[in-house]
Structure 1
C-alpha cells in the first residue's frame, strides 16, 4: 500500500491525503448519530488538542523545512520563511475579516466577517472551513515539497502531517455536528454540515501541491505560508474558543497532548 502511494504523483498524493482528512472530519461528524448530549468540557479539550496538533505541525513539518530549504540564501536565509509566514498570516486575517462565520458557542449577533442574514448553521460551518483552508494547503505543499527531492522534505514527513491533521479533524467534525444537534437541528443535517466544513481540504491540498510542483522556487515560501496561516487560526480562534467556558486547564492540557502527538508522529515517521 505504501509503495503504491509512493508511486503516485504529488498532486494525486495530496488529493488522497486531503480526502483522508475530509473523511476523518466526516467520521467525527457521524458521532451525532450515536450520542445526543453535548459535553462542553470534552469539546474544549478537543479544541485544545487541535490547537496543539496545528502548532506542532507548523513548526516541525513546515517552518523548519522551509528554513533548511533556504540555505542557499546565505546570510539572508531567514527571509523566505519569514516572508512566507507573514503572508500566510495576513492572508487568513483577510479571510477572517471578510468571510462571514460564527464560532461555536457564540451568540448569532457575534458573527464575524461581512454581515449577512445567513443561518447560524451556515456560519458555524464557515468558521470550521476557515480552519481547514490552511490545513489543506499544508498537506498539499508538504507533498509537493517531497517531490522536490530535497532531503529536508520527505514523503514520510508529508504522510505524518496528513495523519496528524486527520486525527485532529475527528474532534472538529464533532465540534460542528454536536452543537448543531443540541440546538435542534436533525442528526442527518448536523452530520451533513459537519462533514461539509472539510470539503475545502482536498481542494486546498491539490492547489498547494500543484503550486509547488509547477513553481518549485516558491517552496520555502509555500511551506512557511501554510504555517503562518495555521498559527494565525490557532492563536486568533482555536485557543480563545477552547477557553471561553472556564475550562482553561483542560484545554491547555489538550493542547499539550496534541502538540506531543504531532511531535512524536513527525519524529517517528519523518
Structure 2
C-alpha cells in the first residue's frame, strides 16, 4: 500500500514525513473545539511524554547512528558526535536568546529573547515553534541520511522517528491551543495558532534533508546537531514546564512512557 513512499527520493520522503508531524500537531490543536480548558496534571503528563520521546529519539535515531558512521571514517569516532551535539545546543541557545517567546505558565514579564511588545499569545506560540525546529530538522536529517548509502540508519528507523515525533506532537498541539483558548482567544484563533506552531517542521525537515544529501561528510555532525538541539529543548523547556505546578510524579511517568514508546518504535521499525 505504501510502496510508493519507498520509491520516491529521500528529500520528498522527509517533506511527507514532516507534513505528517505537522498534521498531527493540527489534530491535537483541534481538541480546542471540544475542550476549553485542560487539567494541569494532564498537561504536565503530556509535556513529560514529549520529553521522553525526544530523549529516546535523540539517542537511538540520531546519536547512535552518528557514532556508528563516524567509527568508519574518523580516528576519534566520538568527536563528530560531541561537536555536533554541543553545536545543536549552542544553536538553540542562540536562537532562544534572540527570538522573543514565552513559556507556558509564566507571566508575560518573564518573556525571553529580544524585548518586544508582542501579544502574549504570539509569544506563547513562538516558544513552541522554536522547539519544533529541531524536531523537523531531526526527521529531515534522518531521511536525508538514507541517500548517502554510508549511514547505518534505515528507512524503518527514519519512519519510527517521524512516528514518534508525530505522536508527541498530538498532545503538544493541544497544549498550545487549549491554553490560548483559556487566555481569551476564539476557538478558531486558538486552533490556527496551535497548528501554526508545527508548520516550521516541514521547512526544517526539507532543509536538513537537502543539506545532508548535498554534503555527505557532515552527516555525523548533522545527526548529532539535531540530537543536541532536541535535548536542549527538553532540559530548557519541557522538563521545567512539566514540573512548574509540582505534578512531578505525573510528569515523570509521562516521560517514562514517552521514552518507552519511542524505544519500542525504533526497535520494531529500525
Q: TM-score range by the shorter chain?
A: over 0.9
- 1:93-115 Cα offsets, whole Å, 9 max, x none, are 00111110001111111101111
Please state whether the residue corresponding to 1:156 is helix, strand or coil: helix
- 1:64-103 Cα offsets, whole Å, 9 max, x none, are 0000000134541111111111110000000111110001
What is the distance in 2 between the residues matched to 1:77 and 1:106?
41
Q: Which residue of 1 aligns with 2:131?
A: 131
- 1:199-254 Cα offsets, whole Å, 9 max, x none, are 10000000000000000111000000000000011011110010000100100010
Please state whether the residue corresponding to 1:47 is helix, strand or coil: helix
What is the distance in 2 between the residues matched to 1:168 and 1:150?
30
Give every structure 1 segment of 4 or more consecutive aligned residues whose post-TM-superposition deviation is greater than 4 Å.
none
Aligned length: 270
TM-score (norm 1): 0.98
Mapping of 1:155-170 within 5 angstroms? 155-170=155-170
Which sections of structure 1, spanning at least 5 residues, go unmatched? none
What is the distance in 2 between the residues matched to 1:89 and 1:66?
16
Distance 1:183-1:151 versus aligned 2 partners, 3 A rule: closer
What is the distance in 2 between the residues matched to 1:250 and 1:123?
26
- 1:32-61 Cα offsets, whole Å, 9 max, x none, are 001122211100000000000000000000
Tell me whether 254-263 or 175-184 shows the greater mean CA deviation: 175-184
Q: Which residue of 1 aligns with 2:86?
A: 86
**RMSD over equivalenced CA pairs, Å:** 0.9
Distance 1:138-1:129 versus aligned 2 partners, 3 A rule: same
What is the distance in 2 between the residues matched to 1:227 and 1:246?
28
Which sections of structure 2, spanning at least 5 residues, go unmatched? none
What is the distance in 1 between the residues matched to 2:121 and 2:37?
18
TM-score (norm 2): 0.98
Mapping of 1:189-208 within 5 angstroms? 189-208=189-208
- Are residue 10 (structure 1) and residue 10 (structure 2) matched? yes
What is the distance in 1 between the residues matched to 2:198 and 2:215?
26
- Are residue 111 (structure 1) and residue 80 (structure 2) matched? no
